[in-house]
Amino acid sequence: MPTEAIKVLLVDDDPAMLRLLSKWLESDGYQVLRACDGRAAMEMIETERPRLLVTDWEMPNVNGLELCQWVRGQNFGHYVYTVILTVRTDSVDMLKGLEAGADDFLKKPVDRNELVARIRAGTRVMELEQRLSLLANTDAMTGLSTRRVFFEDFKREWQRAERYHTQLSCVMMDIDYFKRINDNYGHQAGDEVLRQVGALLRTGVRKCDFIGRYGGEEFCVVLPETTDEQAVTWAERMRACIAGQQIKVNDTTLNITSSFGVAQRLADTATPEMLVDMADQALVVAKRSGRDRVVAYRSVAQSPVISRCGDDLASMLQGVPARDVMTAVVAPLNSSHTVATASNYFLRFRIPSAPVVDDNGQLVGVLSEKDLMSIMLGPRWWTIPIKDVMKKNVVCYEEETPALAIYEFLARVVIRGVVIAKHGCPTGLITRGCLLRFFMNLLAARQTEGVYPEVDAAASELVERMGHASVTDRIAKTVRSLAAEARDMESRLNDSHGDLVPCVVGGASRVQELVIDLLAISRYAQDYDDEARGAAEDGAQASGAMRFALSQPATDDSTDRCGLTPEVIPCSPK
């Protein structure tokens, strides 16, 4: 028999029968639960999760057959072996019971030896099912639930919390600098760290809590009937426990730390996946702000001071997609190139980091000067491929993402920017500088005095010059002028074999004048017709031409494109 007594639920509306059967099974080592009818049994099954069910057929409210059908319709995560007590012995009744989901029958009056024998047979089935389930549903490294099983349990607990209006919190946990452990001490050391951290988490939770290995060095814990404050207390206790644990691998003793993100289910939290994402956002902040700490989502969400109504900067970003705010990526690094290429890239463009793509142009990581510093003492470090050094955890948003969401993210983390992508390919970056420039231009377009004095002057001049010409006509002409200027710059850059500075500076000056005109005209733009939309498409083509021209290799290797540098994201691992 297992060390922990197996739970058996007895259901009968006859109190004397319940007492008798309970006495027999308890004397045989089983933990017995009792219910007087099917409805009470349903509640007890949900809360106590017995492995075996012995129920009478004839009962008020919900009879044994209906109870059996209900059990088979539930998803408990384990099988409930069911025996029906009945005086019915004909084949028709037996068939009804089997179709309802019964595993065995026991005729009344009940014989003690027969009852114990049938329960033992059911126990053997349960033990076999448990062993098979353990192999299929647990992570081989840590013995914790797999991600699939974790979410199955999570969804059941979510439904229970909704039904009974109870608190529910989620904790995401990540081992700090885990890649360094694998790199410096080998994967055997990394596996031992995962095993011991998993064991610490498993012993640190209650029976009603459940934990899973979320992926890599990440773990996720669900704490039922727990507020975020209580969850933070638990996470802080586990953080200190992990920090104090000395992990021995062969002759090496490792001291590790971990970061935690905590989130509580709120009224507008729609799904378990959304709650996990909230906890993960808090975890990102914990990692970005120094690691070895616990961060609650409520403190993250409350940190930016953003008004969502009125004529303020936040309202300006409502409905604005990321592609309208981003700065275009000029030339990302390729993962197959060497670190020497990246070093020259950083020195040439005077930037600290850059996004990394594969041969198909798909975003695969980010590389920074800090990453290069970590390998410079190694042998022939300059020959190492970028893909072996880069960080693979990149904060990335699609082009259609609301710019306001990115603003709120950057307002509460220490990183300076995020990558914007389309179908996995990096197309731009949004930094705090991009947002500042966008806000300033919006203020200028909204006739805010003193933001851009040169725009104010251009606006006054345009009022005199425009006459009866429509605003959309003027915008279209200005954008076409921008497109022509971009094509002219591209042609001259391709034909030039000398100093590029006059070409680029002159073109940039003319483009700057046209942009100021556009900002001034935008003060009088109310409705954009089809012609204006066509002009916008011309502008997009002009932007593409400009981007193409600046991304071409310099004709003179000693020239660094006159100091024109792409904006890139300084991103470290989560």
Kindly report, residue by residue over 306-315, the tens digit of the pLDDT: 333 344 555 6
Token pair, residue 34, equals 């009792």
Q: Give mean pLDDT, residues 379-397.
A: 86
More confident call, 24 vs 522? 24
CA 72 to chain centre: 34
Strand pairing class (7-11; 31-35): parallel
Q: pLDDT class for 499, splitting at 50, 70, 90?
A: low
Residue written as tokens 């300059």?
A: 382
Residue written as tokens 């190492």?
A: 384
Mean pLDDT is lowest, of 229-233, 272-276, 468-472, for: 468-472
pLDDT tens for 443-494 read 666 666 555 565 556 666 665 665 555 667 767 777 887 887 778 777 777 7
Domains of the chain: 7-137 (3.40.50.2300), 147-302 (3.30.70.270), 313-563 (3.10.580.10)
Token pair, residue 561, equals 């494109």
Own/partner contacts of 231-235, CB < 8 Å, gap of 24 or more, are 231/169, 231/170, 231/171, 231/262, 231/264, 231/296, 232/262, 232/294, 232/296, 234/171, 234/204, 235/171, 235/173, 235/260, 235/262, 235/294
How far the first Cα of the chain sits from its last, in Å, is: 45
Q: Give mean pLDDT, residues 408-420.
A: 73
pLDDT of residue 436: 75
Query: Is the model's pLDDT at 263 over the cut of 90?
Result: yes
Instruction: Identify each DSSP E strand in 379-442 by its residue range.
Output: 396-398, 417-422, 425-431
Strand pairing class (52-56; 7-11): parallel
Torsion 193-195-201-203 (CA) sign: negative
- Across 23-32, 127-136, 321-330, 395-404, the highest mean pLDDT is recorded for 23-32
Looking at residue 392, its amino acid is K
Q: Give mean pLDDT, residues 494-498.
A: 67
Distance CA 452, CA 516 (A): 9
More confident call, 302 vs 209? 209
Query: Is the model's pLDDT at 299 over the cut of 80?
Result: no
Q: pLDDT class for 136, splitting at 50, 70, 90?
A: low
Residues of the chain by 3-state class (helix, strand, coil), percent to 5 = 50, 20, 30
Distance CA 271, CA 354 (A): 35
Query: Is the model's pLDDT at 552 over the cut of 80?
Result: no
Threshold 0.75, pTM exceeds: no
Distance CA 447, CA 315 (A): 16
Q: What is the mean pLDDT of the chain?
A: 78
The set of residues, in sequence order, having a beta carbon less than 8 Å from that of 406 and lying 6+ positions away, is: 322, 325, 397, 418, 430, 435
Cis check: omega of the bond before 304, within 30 degrees of 0: no
More confident call, 413 vs 387? 387
Distance CA 519, CA 364 (A): 37
- In a 3-state reduction of DSSP, which class is residue 82? strand
More confident call, 560 vs 84? 84
